[in-house]
Amino acid sequence: MAAIVYISSLRHLLAVLAYCALSGIIVYGLQRATFAVVSYLMLAFGVVGSLVSVALNTFAPSLTRHLVSGIADRIMVGMAYGGPLVLPVVEYAIYILAALALSLVSFHKKEMEF
């Protein structure tokens, strides 16, 4: 039972880290911390994820498993029930690295002005 609690906590930690990375793009690109906080809250409460999921289910249902929530769920299931972990972990790492790269590109030669 304790293992499931730890695995669930790890799933939420992975989601939080991904949402922070995505919010970092906004804070570095737009130079507005308020927009970053609002975007993080919208991501964390599932507003953006739900809208994107509905849109993807309509137009490209196979892509919904590649959202942050889907990747984190597959990592959680893999840890809990012995499923494959390599592909979801690699997808998650690519997701974080892509978000960090976009943050760096958007911040290139700018100064932080809060």
For tokens 């309509």, name the residue.
58
CA distances to 26, 49, 50, 74, 111 from 44, in Å:
15, 9, 11, 18, 28
The answer to whether 45 and 53 are in contact (CB under 8 A) is no
Q: How does pLDDT run across 82-105, given as a tens digit for each residue?
A: 888 899 999 999 988 988 888 888
> Mean pLDDT over residues 1-19, rounded?
84
pTM for the full predicted model = 0.76
Looking at residue 82, its pLDDT comes to 85
CA–CA distance, 64 with 17 (Å, rounded to integer): 19
Looking at residue 79, its pLDDT comes to 87
Looking at residue 90, its pLDDT comes to 92
